[in-house]
Amino acid sequence: MEYNITIPKYTEFEKQLQNEVDFFKYMKLLEREKNNYLIIVAADDTPTGPLFTPEHSAAMMKALGLRLNMLKAYRQPYVAIIDGGEVIYEQTSQDLTKSITVNADFGKHKLFVYSGGFDCADKFGRKAVLKLDDAPFYGETGLNFFTLNTQKGVVVDSYCHETFHEPSPEKPLWKPFKYMDNIISLIQNDPRGGVICCFYTLPEFPPLGNRSKQEQIIKANGLGCDSMRKDKKFLNQIFDNKLFDFCNDFKSVEDMSDAFFLPESYEDMKGIIQFKDYTSNAVNMRNGNRVTTDQPDKYKRAVFFVGVSTTVGLGADDAHTFESYLQRKFNELIPNEEFIVYNYGRYAGGMRGLSRLLVLLSTLPLKTGDIVFFWNYQPVISGLPYCDLSLMARRPHNYGEIFSDRTHFSANGNKMIADGLFEFLKQHNFFKDATMKVTRQGAKPLPTQNIDDIKENELLTDYKNELIRFYKNKIQPKVGAIVMNANPFTYGHRFLVEKALTKCDYLVVFVVEEDKSEIPFKDRFALVKKNLADLPNVFVRKSGEFIISSKTFSEYFAKESLQEQKIDTTLDVTLFAKEIAPCLNISVRFAGEEPTDAITRQYNEDMKRILPQYGIDFKEIKRKQTETGEIISASTVRKLAKAKEFDKLKALAPPSTIEYLKRH
């Protein structure tokens, strides 16, 4: 099946709207062009709040000609419709349990607008909802402005004036239309259109009148992960007395505490949020991501979930995130499809932090057939599949208690989400053999071809693919890589290079350039070149600043003091796989087994996990031993040299290294 993604041709004004984040400037833009558009204003949660000042109100009324004073409408529902510059509808209600609903026809298009009061128990609760021909657009807390081009029949922009929280670097204003191209690039980067992109949204906390007793307690007490993190005594009390059903998801209060606390994260060199490696009974982070349990060793297709803390699985242990539940459903119900699930959730500050996650999309190790789910309330791209689970938590349902706080899910809740996602995928036949095609309205069409030309092109494409496979399998040289510090060069290093050379056609040896070893880089580099000069097809290069350096793997240079610690080598390995290896067409990386050094052993383990995601093999080679069974290591050579026991070095290092050590 082919999914046709249609990108409207936006006018310069519409592009300005999509890029403007300042409220007053946004109002001036709407004022300038309001005669040409249909503008919908709808309140979500409340139309006013601490940040909605008289100046904001005056600017809105001047721009749009609205009459009601929003400053007195705290937590009330509110809807206004401006058509061609004329206010044709404006309504609010002092009854916070009521909602305002508008159904209307605009030309060929059906319009539905909804705003609920703060205590409203209707279907959508206190949200703001716009539907254009059944395509839903959900608001955020505050006043939401939707601008529609009725001639094209499309929503061209949405803007939420958040009345409670100022935008910040951590929680910037979320403009979904501004970032459409980040999503589209995923599709267009696969020339075959075989990467499937979807939007998804998760179940929302039920409205008043539809809550269980536990949900009522959670809401009445403002229970949230933040409050539990700040008060460990409170957390202990909850667990010891089993005050909530989710306490039964954990074996100990320590496990529950881990699930509700934030593992440390950092921004890498590209500004991508990554989790540091972390290990515990309940929560484990590897290679920047939350661990998904029950992943298969072999797989054909991958499913990636990109989102915020609900995607990470805050409030659940590894085995009970929705990703882990979904992985088990794949394994049990459709094992022959061979899916693997990845959790790319980040703590980014809710909806307004999504812009910080967009850069993640370009780093996903995608291949044809993979599926990407991006968490977003706004299906801003026409034709993109949208898994809307927002109403799934409405009772009655058979999942019991599903929330661990007002926004995060217990094990039961994550099982509900996994079931909903599985059914969505099932309805779409798991996107088997599906493709996505992007059409930009107004773009120049490709020259038409007759059927014979198309057949000839298909035959040519098939023949070219056959030649590519032949080249890769029969002709293309295999390029391998080794990274070594060589402090100093030993027979062990020589052995590693010789063994690696039997498994590839060309071998690049990177020597760590960082000058934090006993032997200076220029001397280490010279010894490596001298002792490998006789081997054909071996090239010695300096590592630069991006392979085992202070920037990428600073712990390497303090290994002796960190042997008992868990360290994070994700940045170094990923940079090599994504940025360095492609430059030289490196398809395999070699390293010696590491039985004694815990830091290097962790590095090897991370390479074993990360490199295959980028199509690079990783091979460990058994270390060379002396005739007495002693493993040859550079640290042993240094100790013997310091003790002036040069005779013992003859079995461990080449003559050039021994001569160097004698002189220094």
The count of other CB atoms within 10 Å of the CB of residue 208 is 18
Spatial contact of 390 and 204, defined as CB atoms under 8 Å apart? yes
CA 396-374-387 angle, to 5 degrees, is 35
269: burial class by Cβ within 10 Å (0-12, 13-18, 19+)?
exposed
Structure tokens at 250: 């954990």
Q: What is the DSSP letter of 549?
A: S
* Residues forming a β-bridge with 128: 115
Three-state helix/strand/coil letters over 47-87: CCCCCCCHHHHHHHHHHHCCCCCHHHCCCCCEEEEEECCEE
* Segment 336-375, tens digit of pLDDT: 999 999 999 998 665 555 667 777 887 788 888 899 998 8
Mean pLDDT of 213-241: 76
Q: Smallest Cα–Cα separation from 376: which of 158, 154, 588, 651?
A: 158
Q: 57 phi and psi, to 5 degrees?
A: -60, -45
List phi, psi (to 5°) of 3: -100, 120
pLDDT digits (tens, 9 = 90+) for 47-100: 888 878 888 888 888 899 998 888 888 999 999 999 999 999 999 999 999 999
Residue 105, SS3 per DSSP: strand
Asked if residues 39 and 111 have their Cβ atoms less than 8 Å apart, the reply is: no
Q: Which residue has the tokens 């209060």?
A: 253
What is the C-alpha separation between 36 and 239, in angstroms, rounded?
58
* pLDDT > 90 fraction of the chain, expressed in percent and rounded: 45
For residue 506, the SS3 value is: strand
Instruction: Say if residues 374 and 187 touch (Cβ distance below 8 Å).
Output: no
User: What is the pLDDT confidence band of residue 6, given thresholds at 50, 70 and 90?
Assistant: confident
Residue 66: Cβ-neighbour burial (10 angstroms; 0-12, 13-18, 19+): middle
pLDDT band at 261 (very low <50, low <70, confident <90, very high): confident
* pLDDT given at position 141: 83
Q: Is the pLDDT of residue 5 over 60?
A: yes
Asked if residue 524 lies in contact with residue 488, where contact means CB atoms within 8 angstroms, the answer is yes
Distance (Å, rounded) from C-alpha 190 to C-alpha 184? 11
Residue 415 in contact with residue 399, Cβ under 8 Å?
A: yes
In sequence order, which residues have a C-beta less than 8 Å from that of residue 211 and are 6 or more positions away? 219, 395
CB proximity list for 42: less than 8 A, separation 6 or greater: 78, 79, 80, 113, 114, 115, 128, 129, 130, 139, 143, 144, 146
Domain annotation for the chain: domains and CATH numbers: 22-166 (no CATH), 196-437 (3.40.50), 475-663 (3.40.50.620)
**According to the 3-state scheme, what is the secondary structure of 135-165?**
EEEECCCEEEEEEEECCCCEEEEEEEECCCC
Indicate the average pLDDT of the chain.
86
Helix axes 23-33, 12-19, angle to 10 degrees: 160
- Helix ranges (H only) for 471-622 are 491-501, 521-532, 570-575, 581-584, 598-610
pLDDT category of residue 451 using cuts at 50, 70 and 90? very low
Maximal CA-CA distance, the chain: 97
Q: How far apart are CA 405 and CA 374, in angstroms?
A: 23
Nearest partner of 494 among 272, 652, 273, 660, judged by Cα = 652
Q: Please give the Cα distance from 115 to 126 (Å, whole number).
A: 6
Contact 98, 77 (CB under 8 A): yes
Kindly list the distances between the CA atom of residue 662 and the CA atoms of 109, 485, 519, 635, 646, in Å, as whole numbers in the listed order. 86, 20, 13, 16, 8
- For the segment 594-653, what is each residue's pLDDT rounded down to a tens digit? 888 888 999 999 999 899 888 899 999 999 998 888 899 999 999 999 999 999 999 999
C-alpha 385/C-alpha 196 separation (Å) is 9
Task: With residue 341 as reference, give the H or E element that holds it.
Answer: strand 339-345
* Token reading at 539: 């090239």
pLDDT tens digit sequence for 491-534: 999 999 999 999 999 999 999 999 999 999 999 999 999 999 99
| Residue 446 reports pLDDT greater than 50 | no
Give the integer Cα–Cα distance in Å for 646 and 633: 15
Closest CA to 9 of 445, 442, 384: 442
Taking alpha carbons only, the member of 562, 483, 614, 550 closest to residue 269 is 550
Task: Reply yes or no: is the peptide bond before residue 477 cis, omega within 30 of 0.
Answer: no
CA distances from 235 to 263, 318, 390, 414, 541 (A): 17, 20, 28, 21, 54
Inter-axis angle of helices 322-333 and 411-427, nearest 10:
50
DSSP class of 444 = P
**What would the pLDDT profile of 135-180 be if each residue is shown by its tens digit?**
888 888 889 999 998 888 888 898 888 877 665 444 556 677 776 6
Sequence length of the chain is 664
Rounded CA-CA distance 441/460 in Å is: 29
What CA dihedral angle connects 123, 127, 132 and 133, to 10 degrees?
Answer: -20
* 301 close to 339: Cβ distance less than 8 angstroms: yes
The reported pTM is: 0.66
Which pLDDT score, from 0 to 100, does residue 332 have? 96
Q: Which of 449, 508, 446 is nearest to 477 (CA)?
A: 508
- Residue 257: predicted pLDDT: 85
Q: How many CB atoms lie within 10 A of CB 105?
A: 8
Residue 604 in tokens? 């090897």
